[in-house]
């Protein structure tokens, strides 16, 4: 059976009811193929096909991901070595680590013909964290209504509530961030309603070039098994970053603290058509910044610890970014955080880049951020890395703890 849907109202297709937002985000008519009613399991014989709109005109712009459980994330981080300050910001459409979003996706997989699919447009989130002297000073995670999200598919220009970024004609990216930070209490993480964390930052790319796209993981759709595609876009691997971060107390501006920032930064872009890397047990990303070049990498560990990790290494200099062929990639998963989350004591991309002497600067039950000593040929520096263990969000207690700091704006 085939149904052509192109109107603006929820339309039944057999037992399937697709909301108008799915059709609108898909950018036009959608054909849905439904198998005859099965006699066995309720989803036997059905092919679940992820929906994604046409690629954006600018690779770093909005891709209009409309696949159930999908996501799109614009990531920025920077470090000011003189004052030992680091920041990281993420703009999500489809927050890949929101416990409720993931629970809805699992329910949809179990009963795809009777459950409304969770869409990225329903879960926009903004994240920002400030580190001083190797520790978290303040951070926020704010979820917004779908009506608060605005983006352009012509250039990088995204807004959700008061948080926004935009690339201007001269290539400079301006970020504005504002949210309610959270703090740890005897009842667990809770938003500090009397405080605000803000930042106004300017990222000036130092290596102008076209973005480089790398596929992290993919699977073709098959009967009873959905396909997925996860892409990584290295947009601006080396930037000069300036701006001001402010932490406001109960008394507003009278009790605020301003932190000037002048350092180097990095920007990349991720998008996928299913929850982030469901077939991997752990996933780490990071970058190393030098004065005239940068390296960015991904490392993903399959569920079977005996299998080798899957890794990507990209180098960028004045000639542009390029994927580097490295073999072997050796990862020693010997260390654990206080939450028993394993992380590498050493990572070696053959002799091209070696990371060791890790230092944990933030740890949660499913995520940790680390700083490594990095060695590359005759150079040495530091690597800022982030490691996730997405399967832990399916654990009831971890899922509940992960949802507590999220402020619903």
Average pLDDT over residues 317-324: 92
Tokens 């004609």 correspond to: 169
Q: What is the tens place of the pLDDT at every residue in 206-233?
A: 998 889 999 888 888 777 677 788 999 9
Q: Is residue 341 one of the residues assigned to a domain?
A: yes
Rounded to an integer, the average pLDDT of 372-388 is: 94
Backbone φ and ψ of 80, nearest 5°: -115, 100
Q: What is the pLDDT averaged over residues 237-251?
A: 91
Average pLDDT over residues 392-398: 86
DSSP 313-380: EEEEETTEEEE-----EEEE--EE-TT--EE-SEEEETTTEEEEEEEEEEE-SSEEEEEEEEEETTEE
Instruction: Please say whether the beta carbons of 383 and 399 come within 8 A.
Output: no
Query: Domain for residue 299, yes or no?
Result: yes
Share of the chain above pLDDT 90, in %: 60
Q: Which residues contact 63 (CB under 8 A, 6 or more apart)?
A: 52, 53, 55, 56, 72, 153, 271
Q: Are 152 and 164 in contact (CB under 8 A)?
A: no
pLDDT at 137 over 90: yes
Q: What is the number of other CB atoms lying within 10 angstroms of the CB of residue 215?
A: 10
Q: What is the dihedral of CA 267, 273, 278, 283, to 10 degrees?
A: -10
Higher pLDDT, 384 or 40: 384
Name the residue range of residue 329's domain: 35-408
| Inside any domain, residue 329 | yes
Over residues 154-164, the mean pLDDT reads 95
Give the span between the Cα atoms of 69 and 55, in whole angstroms. Answer: 18
CA distance 93 to 125: 7
Give the C-alpha separation, 23 to 8, whole Å.
Answer: 8
pLDDT of res. 23: 41
320 has pLDDT over 60: yes
Report residue 144 as tokens: 């917004």
Instruction: Kindly state whether residue 12 falls inside one of the protein's structural domains.
Output: no
**Rounded Cα–Cα distance for residues 165 and 157 (Å):** 6
- Between CA 173 and CA 202 the distance in angstroms is 6
Any domain includes 21 = no
With a cut of 90, say whether residue 176 has pLDDT above it: yes
Q: How far apart are CA 383 and CA 313, in angstroms?
A: 13
What pLDDT sits at residue 227? 78
Do the domain assignments include residue 318? Answer: yes
- The CA-based dihedral angle spanning residues 67, 368, 167, 84, taken in that order and rounded to the nearest 10 degrees: 180
Helix (H) or strand (E) holding 108: helix 99-110
Give 138's pLDDT tier (boundaries 50, 70, 90).
very high
pLDDT tens string 114-125: 999 999 999 999
- Mean pLDDT for 107-114 is 89
Three-state secondary structure call for residue 146: helix
pLDDT of residue 32: 47
C-beta separation of 126 from 148 below 8 A: no
Q: What is the pLDDT of residue 209?
A: 87
CATH number of residue 328's parent domain? 2.40.370.10
Structural domain total, the chain? 1
């Amino acid at each position: 059976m085939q149904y052509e849907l192109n109107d603006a109202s929820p339309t039944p297709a057999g037992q399937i009811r697709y909301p108008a937002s799915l059709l609108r985000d898909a950018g036009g008519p959608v054909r849905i193929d439904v198998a005859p009613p099965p006699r066995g399991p309720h989803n036997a014989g059905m092919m679940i096909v992820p929906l994604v709109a046409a690629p954006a005109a600018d690779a770093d712009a909005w891709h209009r991901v409309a696949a159930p459980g999908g996501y799109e994330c614009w990531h920025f981080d920077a470090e000011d070595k003189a004052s030992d300050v680091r920041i990281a910001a993420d703009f999500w459409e489809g927050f890949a680590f929101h416990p409720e979003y993931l629970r809805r996706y699992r329910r949809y997989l179990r009963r795809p013909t009777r459950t409304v699919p969770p869409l990225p447009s329903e879960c926009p989130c903004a994240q920002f964290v400030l580190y001083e002297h190797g520790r978290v000073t303040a951070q926020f995670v704010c979820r917004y209504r779908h009506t608060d999200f605005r983006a352009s598919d012509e250039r990088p220009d995204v807004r959700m509530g008061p948080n926004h970024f935009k690339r201007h004609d001269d290539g400079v990216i301006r970020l504005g961030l504002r949210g309610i930070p959270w703090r740890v209490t005897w009842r667990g993480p809770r938003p500090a309603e009397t405080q605000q964390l803000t930042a106004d930052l300017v990222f000036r790319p130092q290596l102008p070039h076209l973005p480089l796209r790398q596929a992290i993981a993919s699977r073709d759709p098959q009967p009873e098994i959905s396909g997925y595609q996860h892409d990584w876009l290295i947009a601006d691997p080396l930037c000069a970053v300036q701006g001001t971060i402010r932490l406001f107390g109960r008394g507003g501006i009278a009790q605020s603290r301003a932190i000037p920032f002048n350092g180097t930064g990095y920007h990349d872009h991720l998008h996928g058509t299913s929850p982030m890397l469901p077939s991997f047990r752990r996933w780490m990303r990071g970058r190393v910044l030098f004065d005239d070049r940068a390296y960015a990498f991904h490392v993903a560990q399959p569920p079977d610890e005996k299998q080798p990790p899957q890794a990507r290494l990209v180098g960028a200099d004045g000639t542009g970014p390029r994927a580097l062929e490295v073999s072997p990639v050796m990862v020693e998963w010997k260390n654990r955080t206080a939450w028993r989350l394993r992380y590498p004591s050493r990572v070696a991309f053959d002799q091209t880049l070696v990371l060791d002497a890790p230092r944990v600067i933030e740890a949660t039950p499913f995520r940790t951020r680390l700083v490594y000593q990095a060695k590359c040929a005759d150079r040495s520096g530091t690597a800022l890395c982030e490691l996730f263990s997405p399967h832990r969000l399916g654990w009831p207690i971890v899922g509940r703890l992960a949802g507590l700091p999220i402020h619903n704006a």
